[in-house]
Structure 1
Amino acid sequence: MDICCWNVRGAASSKFKSNVLDLIHTHRLDMLFLCEPRLSGAKAISVVNAVGFSGGLWLLWDDSRVHVEVVGTSDQTISACLACNGQDPWLFTGVYASPNAAK
């Protein structure tokens, strides 16, 4: 299974969609974890929304190649149970945590 994590720092760019598609096709990604898309609400279908222009997390996957069941989210993590090609399922947790220890 091929997974990529990318600190995108904003998905509002006009080139964002084509860059993501190029990344997925070039590396034949099954799943993509995006940090800081900085979009939320009506502009984005995301699992953990951004607060203003701060943060946000997206987990994207190819349904034809991997079965994903999101089992938990927080403002700094997304956890999902993954199954691919008849193999035993396993737990994925994407983390983009604040450097502020109080958070």
Structure 2
Amino acid sequence: MRNARDMIKAHKPSIFAVVEPRVSDRIAQRIVKKLSLSKVHIVDLIGFVDGIWIAWDDQDVAVDVIFSSQQVVHCVVKYGVTDLFVLIVIYASLTLKACKRLWLSFKEFAESNNLHWAIAGEFNDVLLMTEKFDGRRPSISRCRLFHDMISSYRLLDLGFQGSPYTW
């Protein structure tokens, strides 16, 4: 919690997202109130698994949550007078079958609108086997499937800055 507050204070984001917070919804509401962002959307946890939080400052941006599920939240973000884009925050399932459903939903979403979109969050997949540091090695076929999905939707991996682990 303190790290989130410090990041918000230092960088002053208009939108802040957390995936897999591992706290109950009741505690989530209390935590988000302390983040000094005026609005919030919380995807309920299943036990202490999954979960997506999106908080934003409604003085800077207007956010309209248009779809929300255990794996993904789609928001239309309006900033400035006429500028719009879609923000998709994900916490993808570990099961390939559920991931494929999620990836198919991107295709359906892309075909249904012409807005620019950005995806942030946790795919729970890697493009290259070298991106996995500990634990069980990813399968080459799963890496290929993930690569094919990213390529087919013309997504760009912007990488990350900082620790590869956030726990």
Question: Common fold, TM-score beyond 0.5?
Answer: yes
Do residues 64 (structure 1) and 59 (structure 2) align?
yes
Q: Give the gaps of 5 or more residues in structure 1.
A: 1-15
**Distance in 2 (alpha carbons) for counterparts of 1:62 and 1:48:** 18
Larger radius of gyration: 2
Structure 2 residue aligned with 1:31: 15
Q: Give the gaps of 5 or more residues in structure 2.
A: 30-40, 99-167
Q: 1:65-89 deviations in whole A, cap 9, x for unaligned?
A: 1111111101010110101121322
Q: How many residues align?
A: 87
- Structure 1 residue ranges, 4+ long, deviating more than 6 angstroms after superposition: none
Higher relative contact order (CA 8 A, sep 6+): 1
- Aligned-partner SS, 2:53: strand
Do residues 75 (structure 1) and 70 (structure 2) align?
yes
Q: 1:11-54 deviations in whole A, cap 9, x for unaligned?
A: xxxxx1x2211101211211111001112332223521111111
- Structure ranking higher in strand proportion: 1
Do residues 94 (structure 1) and 89 (structure 2) align?
yes
**Distance in 2 (alpha carbons) for counterparts of 1:75 and 1:20:** 22
**Distance in 2 (alpha carbons) for counterparts of 1:88 and 1:41:** 32
Q: What is the CA RMSD across the aligned residues, in angstroms?
A: 1.5
- Structure ranking higher in helix proportion: 2
